[in-house]
Amino acid sequence: MHRMASSPPPSNKPRKADSKPSLRERFNAMRNIGPFLRLIWATSKPLTLTSIGLRIIRAFLPIMMLYVGKLIIDEAIRLVGLGIGFDSLSAAWHGGQLDHLFWLLVLEFGLAIFSDLLGRLVSYADGLLSELFTNATSVRLMEHAATLDLEDFEDPDLQDKLDRARRQTMGRMSLMGQLFGQMQDAITVVSFAVGLLVYAPWLIVLLAMALIPAFIGESHFNALGYSLNFQWTPERRQLEYMRQTGASVETAKEVKIFNLHRFLIDRYRTLADKFFIANRALSRRRAFWGTLLAALGTLGYYVAYGYIAWRTVKGDFTIGDLTFLAGSFRRLRQLLEGLLVGFSQVAGQALYLDDLFSFFEIEPEIKSPANPAPFPMPIVQGFVFENVGFRYPGAERWAVRHLDFELRAGEVLALVGENGAGKTTLVKLLARLYDPDEGRILLDGRDLRDYDIDDLRANIGVIFQDFVRYHLTAGENIGVGRIEHMYDIDRIRDAARRGMADEVIESLPNGYDQVIGRRFKTGVDLSGGQWQKIAIARAYMRDAQVMILDEPTAALDARAEFEVFQRFKELSDQRTAVLISHRFSSVRMADRILVLEQGRIEASGTHDELMAAGGRYAELFELQAAGYR
């Protein structure tokens, strides 16, 4: 099974899917904020500095605008108190009495324009930074996924983790804006608090007492929201699967023939309705308690407002002071409430970051040694399986066990056996997609684990029955077999000729530049047999020392498969090769045949030797041959 990196933070410990995160877990999750900010900083230092710098400047504008507003009101009241009695605006303007009021208005107007400009610049910087961060994190996600073991991808729990991590790469940039916005609001809070402390310090205490209940409530419901999303991860994957299955070109034929659309829609609707009901119940509780707790904050504001009004009536404050203090208290209440609720939301989002960072902490078990042995060029002796056993994680039955045989250099070896006999598992062990649970596999006398894993796989070309159909050009579909020669058209053409795919490609409208598959508008779809020839050409593109064909010709008729295997044997001269096929007429050309039964080697020899022995191979061969008589 996959392993976690050493000493993971406590917040990454496994937790029951149906439990609400504890207070300790929520605080521990805040440890993710530091690595998250470092990721943002690494994404683009200039944009990060720009976003933070603009926010710091913008943080002081609200108190400045409010104070200028106070000065405007005081100046207007002063002018009214003078009893000058202006006949007209023009006369007052030319008399100079409105000069001070005018410049105060110009200043407030300028501050408003400047604040709007800063806001747009912040949004622009954040948008660019968000796009870069999402791209960089998605690339890192794909790079890390590429290092994981094949068995990790066959683990449903890791699939859930990967699904959550994938969603976090797209959804966590709101956290960046929230963190930077909270920093801006904190600076603004300090500026307002200083103003209030000058006039009435106890108002700050009143404000804090009124807001704490709302903070506790928001924190509680954020934790419940995360728990609900965590718990429903498998169902979310099912919903996505139903959506894809019900509306994709790969499944359209069967969906129509079997009239499956009603079944798929009903299954989707059932799951979606359950998730909707769970979300609705949580939203209702959140709305009720949020309204009730927010009312406490509103009560605190009006108590303070009444106190300020009383002091103004007494003559302690001017009307401008009243406006400034009331506005400051109102904004301070909003900002503090936003900070407290925001802190709770940040803690909640930090829990989601656990999904991303815990995925990055998964370490593969199959990896290259610190000082790998040089890979043999060429392979001289070949492979030796010594008492090799392997079973899949969570399985009770061994997939293969007690395998003892040699695959000699330059030999063409065929593997035959019924489904589930262990043929594909053996091939995966050979390519070190898995490591044995028992025994070892040697290559030229050294354990496969001693070699660099990239060197090993670069020298093995494998085409599985369930090969990937890349929705790329025909040339690129072959070129991926040796990515460093992706656009070497001569090598691609040679591989296509060897794999008998050249005639298929020449029939396409744009030849090697034709996009194949139906995913894109310009794509041309191929038949199953044509796709398989492309896949076989991909194996020849690799030009590896070891060639493995794991039933890649299942969609071809018997004659076409025989021609492919005959060509393969001719072109595999001096190469080590492994063939897997259910058609015994095709594998008889191999130098040696291994018969697998329930994960063990039942017999080994040439076609003639196995037929003479009269065992399972002969029985299965005769049964298959009878079908052609």
- DSSP codes of every residue in 281-304: HHHHHHHHHHHHHHHHHHHHHHHH
Confidence (pLDDT) at 113: 92
Which whole-number Å values give the CA distances from 365 to 154, 451, 453, 585, in the listed order?
Answer: 14, 14, 12, 39
* 3-state SS track over 375-410: CCCCCCCEEEEEEEEECCCCCCCCCEEEEEEEEECC
Q: What is the pLDDT of residues 255-310, one digit of tens each?
A: 655 566 666 777 777 877 777 777 777 777 777 777 776 676 667 667 766 777 77
Residues lower than pLDDT 50 in the chain = 1-19
The token pair that represents 95 in the structure block: 């008399």
DSSP assigned state of 367: -
Spacing of C-alpha 475 from chain mean position: 29
| Contacts with 492 (C-beta within 8 Å, 6 or more apart), sequence order | 475, 478, 479, 485, 512, 541
CA angle, 355 then 360 then 364, to 5°: 125
Q: Provide the terminal-to-terminal Cα distance of the chain, rounded to the nearest Å.
A: 49
Confidence (pLDDT) at 627: 56
Which whole-number Å values give the CA distances from 160 to 165, 393, 445, 539, 588, in the listed order?
Answer: 9, 17, 40, 32, 44
Q: For residue 582, give the 3-state DSSP assignment.
A: coil
Q: Are 577 and 460 in contact (CB under 8 A)?
A: no
The token pair that represents 600 in the structure block: 């063990």
Instruction: Say how far apart CA 66 and CA 85 lie, in whole Å.
Output: 28
Among all chains, which residue has been given the structure tokens 């594998």? 587
The token pair that represents 373 in the structure block: 């042995």
Q: b/e string for 97-131 if b means 16 or more Cβ within 10 A?
A: ebeebeebeeebeebeeebeebeebbeebbebbbe
Give residue limits of the domains in the chain.
16-363, 375-459+586-629
**Alpha helices (runs of H) in 200-260, residue ranges in sequence order:** 202-231, 233-246, 252-257
Confidence (pLDDT) at 576: 85
Q: What is the pLDDT of residues 426-453, one digit of tens each?
A: 888 888 888 898 999 999 888 989 998 8
441, containing H or E segment: strand 438-443
Instruction: Say how far apart CA 59 and CA 53 lie, in whole Å.
Output: 10
Instruction: Say how far apart CA 38 and CA 130 lie, in whole Å.
Output: 14
Please give the CATH topology (third level) of the domain spanning 375-459+586-629: Rossmann fold (3.40.50)
Cis peptide upstream of residue 378 (ω within 30 degrees of 0): yes
| Contacts with 129 (C-beta within 8 Å, 6 or more apart), sequence order | 40, 43, 44, 47, 48, 51, 173, 176
Q: Are 389 and 438 in contact (CB under 8 A)?
A: yes
Q: What is the pLDDT of residues 323-376, one digit of tens each?
A: 777 777 777 777 776 776 666 667 666 766 776 777 777 777 788 888 888 888
Confidence (pLDDT) at 352: 66
CA angle, 190 then 195 then 198, to 5°: 120
Q: Are 481 and 492 in contact (CB under 8 A)?
A: no
Instruction: Say how far apart CA 2 and CA 536 lie, in whole Å.
Output: 32
Q: Are 347 and 26 in contact (CB under 8 A)?
A: yes
Q: Are 495 and 480 in contact (CB under 8 A)?
A: no
Q: Are 465 and 550 in contact (CB under 8 A)?
A: yes
Instruction: Say how far apart CA 318 and CA 313 lie, in whole Å.
Output: 9
Q: For residue 200, give the 3-state DSSP assignment.
A: coil
The token pair that represents 509 in the structure block: 């409208």
173 backbone dihedrals φ, ψ, rounded to 5°: -70, -20
The CB density around residue 569, as the number of other CB atoms within 10 Å, is 16
Query: Which neighbouring-strand residues pair with 451?
Result: 373
Instruction: Say how far apart CA 621 and CA 491 lie, in whole Å.
Output: 38
Q: Is the dihedral of CA 571, 576, 582, 584 positive or negative?
A: positive
16-363 falls under which CATH superfamily?
A: ABC transporter type 1, transmembrane domain (1.20.1560.10)
